[in-house]
Amino acid sequence: MKKYLYICCLYLLTSFYTHAQEKNTPYKSIAHKSTYVTIFDQLQDKEQLHINFTSTGCFHSVKEIMTIEKENDVYYVVFKESRKMLTSIDIKAIQKFEKGLTRAHDYGCTTIDTYLITYNGRQQMISDGGCRWNGYYDLKKALGFDE
């Protein structure tokens, strides 16, 4: 256990050193935030947007999948065994989450959240190791799936 804790602490110190060196580096971005059209906004009837979320750290490991669907111009979210029709407030939360992904960065924390976004056969992986943004957990809470 001591060895494991030592490794985590060493990783943390290394991350802070890397962060200090890169503090003037802009966030890794999937798109310019002012012109970014969310994938959610591009959904056509009978299409799905999959959010595969993985979070790993010194003392935890989480894997979850959330699916957004559009059927007959109505949006749904599927999470675990639940399927919920989305309200306009839910839709705004999803759009906020997706735009938040554009500000994710991959340094500074022992916890790394990884998002694999799949739409129309294309995949995009975004990692966030900054410990400042809890986008997936905020989205789950906004959609009523907090545990």
Q: Is the model more confident about 134 or about 2?
A: 134
Asked whether residue 75 is assigned to any structural domain, the reply reads yes
Q: How many domains does the chain have?
A: 1
Q: Which residue has the tokens 């989480």?
A: 62
Q: What is the pLDDT of residue 36?
A: 66
Asked whether residue 29 is assigned to any structural domain, the reply reads no
Closest CA to 86 of 145, 12, 10, 130: 145
Q: Is the model more confident about 33 or about 96?
A: 96
Asked whether residue 108 is assigned to any structural domain, the reply reads yes
Are 85 and 96 in contact by the 8 Å Cβ rule? The answer is no
Asked whether residue 28 is assigned to any structural domain, the reply reads no
Torsion sign, CA atoms 65, 117, 115, 69: negative
Q: Given pLDDT bands bounded at 50, 70 and 90, which one contains residue 92?
A: very high
Q: DSSP characters for 62-123?
A: EEEEEEEEEETTEEEEEETTEEEEPPHHHHHHHHHHHHHGGG----S-S-EEEEEEEETTEE
Q: What is the pLDDT of residue 52?
A: 97
- Find the domain containing 120 and state its range: 2-23+37-142
H or E segment and range at residue 119: strand 112-119
- The pair of three-digit structure tokens given for residue 130, joined into one six-digit string: 């900054």
Calculate what percentage of the chain has a pLDDT beyond 90: 47
- The pair of three-digit structure tokens given for residue 133, joined into one six-digit string: 């943004």
Asked whether residue 30 is assigned to any structural domain, the reply reads no
Share the mean pLDDT of the chain. 79
Q: Which residue has the tokens 């802009």?
A: 26
41 alpha carbon, distance to own chain's centre:
17
Q: Which residues are paired to 126 by β-bridges?
A: 115
Alpha-carbon distance of 63 to 61, in angstroms, equals 7
Asked whether residue 129 is assigned to any structural domain, the reply reads yes
28 pLDDT above the threshold of 60: no
Asked whether residue 147 is assigned to any structural domain, the reply reads no
Burial label for 66, CB within 10 Å (0-12, 13-18, 19+), is buried
Alpha-carbon distance of 127 to 109, in angstroms, equals 12
Q: What is the pLDDT of residue 32?
A: 46
Asked whether residue 71 is assigned to any structural domain, the reply reads yes
Q: Given pLDDT bands bounded at 50, 70 and 90, which one contains residue 34?
A: low
